[in-house]
Amino acid sequence: MNNQLGLDDAAKGILNHIAKHHGDIKVVPSWQEKLGRWDEALELYQQQTSELDANMTFGRSESTAPSMTMVSEEEEEEDKEEESESENAMKHALFESKLGEMRCLSALDDHEKVSKAAKKLLGEIHELQQFEIGEANSNNSVEDKKGVEAASNTINEMYTTWISDIETLGAKASWVLGDWKNLEHYMSSGRVNSSESR
């Protein structure tokens, strides 16, 4: 509220107080980002990314271990679906965190890192998008064609937003770096928000 009222110092003071005296309340990076505290936000996004990476790696090693309990095929299928949904949610949080890092790096004028991150993240995100659409198609029966279509549309909308944000940051970095080939690539996609890439 203080930030919306233009009382940035008061908002920063409240965040500092929370961080020092209320360990049970976690200061999220987007709060720092909204206050223009790019270094602090970047640090929090990097911590968040590392934690998510570690959790995903740990989760994969656990899920590949053979189970010693007897379960029905139906229960096993339900467990796999829940595990897949949980893993996808973690991947989404990871992409959001990496995108937050890119916004901070862009605000801090570290365009080299933004450019590299944009290329890498676009490859990862396209791969995951195709996987999730394929998964949505395979998890639904032929009779549930509308459900499959709705799930695919929801997935595509979410990824289109992420891809647009990444390409916009990549285009801005390419412009600043004079990397016209990459700039042309980003601009040709038609997803770059030109009002934000300035």
- For residue range 152-197, what is the model confidence (pLDDT) as tens digits? 777 788 888 899 999 999 999 999 999 999 999 888 877 777 665 4
Query: Which has the higher per-residue pLDDT, 145 or 87?
Result: 87
Backbone angles phi and psi of 75, in degrees to 5: -65, -40
Determine contact, residues 104/40, Cβ cutoff 8 Å: no
| 67 backbone φψ class: left, alpha, beta (φ>0; ψ -120 to 50) | beta
Residue count (the chain): 198
Question: pLDDT at position 196, please?
Answer: 54
* Secondary structure of 5-54 as H, E, C letters: CCCHHHHHHHHHHHHHHCCCCCCCHHHHHHCCCHHHHHHHHHHHHHHHHH
Query: Which has the higher per-residue pLDDT, 188 or 15?
Result: 188
Query: What integer best gives the mean pLDDT of the chain?
Result: 80
Alpha helices in 35-179 (DSSP H): 38-63, 73-107, 111-138, 145-177
Give me the mean pLDDT over the 12-16 stretch: 75
Q: Name the one residue in this structure whose structure tokens are 């995100």.
A: 125
Is the model's pLDDT at 48 over the cut of 90? yes
The model's confidence at residue 27, banded by pLDDT at 50, 70 and 90, is confident
The model's confidence at residue 65, banded by pLDDT at 50, 70 and 90, is very low
